[in-house]
Amino acid sequence: MKNWRMIIDVASCEDCNNCTLACKDEHVDNEWPGYSVAQPRHGQRWMDVVRKERGQFPLIDVAYLPTTCMHCADAPCVAASQGAIYRRKDGIVLIDPEKAKGRHELVGTCPYGMIWWNEERELAQKCTFCAHLLDKGWKQPRCVQACPTGALRVEFVDDEEMERIAAVEKLQPLHPEYGARPSVYYANLHRFDSCFIAGSVAIEKNQLIDCASGASVILYRDGQKLAETATDAFGDFKFDGLQQNRTGYRVEIVMEGYGLRTLPLARLDKSVNLGAIRLG
């Protein structure tokens, strides 16, 4: 059976918040009977862009993670709601405004923290995937329509096709350990949930310090080779997608005529900029 899925590319998000504004434009002061009551003007962010900075100056990476209701196949909120929250045949999870009235405890049933409380209406609320528009023939929710970089897109596919897309595009769910089987998938999630090791290599050339372009840089962990790269025209290198809180990393840098430089790292607690590394 085909379900709606959302795909979010972390590398393409520029934190413009057009998705959030489009959601507000569609749902603030607007009632959609059978789908949702009006979203409050302030306080709720059904599409919330979270920011994370990795590394140290001058090698810094800033990533933006759009988060929303994951419309999970095994949604904990549905299981705990006694019918107040339900999943449609097309995969969209909705809150029944009448059955959920006054039930503040529903806010805590989402492990992703994407259910909000409307104090004035005494009602739990969240993203509806703009189901009222899709049911009228729209091909995408407002947030996707408003994204200028293509960081958001939707697919209406069955499980088998979604598995194929996820494999080809190397997509990942957010927090799979929750066991909720979310219908939102992320590309380049490593920009947000992993570490990198980076640095700049320099050499002495004609009594001047110059960038070491083309130096070989090898990353080891516990004596095993993990990856190899070459420095760019500025002498920079970067290994990304590394697991946090791991020990035993070692970086080796070698360039013909300049010898070998070894840099051990006791523990990778966060992304590390090794700074300027001089050979020779």
pLDDT score at 268: 92
Indicate if the pLDDT at residue 206 is higher than 80: no
Query: Same domain, yes or no, for 58 and 164?
Result: yes
Where is the domain boundary, 192, 210, 226?
192
Indicate if the pLDDT at residue 200 is higher than 90: yes
pLDDT score at 205: 79
pLDDT tens digits along 64-106: 999 999 999 999 999 999 999 999 999 999 999 999 999 999 9
> What does the mean pLDDT of the chain come to?
95
pLDDT score at 16: 98
The Cα–Cα gap between 123 and 84 comes to 11
Query: Same domain, yes or no, for 45 and 31?
Result: yes
Taking residues 203-207, report their average pLDDT.
81
- Indicate which CATH number applies to the domain containing 204: 2.60.40.10
Query: Same domain, yes or no, for 157 and 240?
Result: no
The pair of structure tokens assigned to 208 is: 């001047």
Domain that holds residue 272: 195-278
Indicate if the pLDDT at residue 167 is higher than 90: yes
When divided into structural domains, the chain yields a total of: 2
Where is the domain boundary, 175, 192, 209?
192
The Cα–Cα gap between 24 and 253 comes to 51
Taking residues 38-51, report their average pLDDT.
96
The Cα–Cα gap between 258 and 279 comes to 6
Give all strands (DSSP E) within the chain, no chain letters: 3-9, 48-56, 59-67, 85-87, 93-95, 116-118, 123-125, 152-157, 184-187, 195-205, 208-211, 216-221, 224-230, 236-242, 246-255, 259-268, 272-278
Query: Same domain, yes or no, for 114 and 242?
Result: no
pLDDT score at 244: 87
Where is the domain boundary, 169, 192, 215?
192
Query: Same domain, yes or no, for 50 and 114?
Result: yes
pLDDT score at 201: 96
186 CB-side CA count, 13 A: 22
CA-closest candidate to residue 100, choices 112, 118, 114, 113 = 118
Query: Same domain, yes or no, for 77 and 141?
Result: yes
Indicate if the pLDDT at residue 59 is higher than 90: no
Query: Same domain, yes or no, for 220 and 142?
Result: no
Q: pLDDT tier at 24 (50, 70, 90 boundaries)?
A: very high
pLDDT score at 217: 97
Lowest mean pLDDT among 142-151, 153-162, 236-245: 236-245
Query: Same domain, yes or no, for 19 and 109?
Result: yes
Q: pLDDT tier at 208 (50, 70, 90 boundaries)?
A: confident
Q: pLDDT tier at 221 (50, 70, 90 boundaries)?
A: very high
Query: Same domain, yes or no, for 182 and 127?
Result: yes
Query: Same domain, yes or no, for 70 and 87?
Result: yes
Query: Same domain, yes or no, for 218 and 151?
Result: no
Query: Same domain, yes or no, for 27 and 107?
Result: yes
Q: Is 198 left (phi over 0), alpha (psi -120 to 50) or beta?
A: beta
Indicate if the pLDDT at residue 207 is higher than 90: no
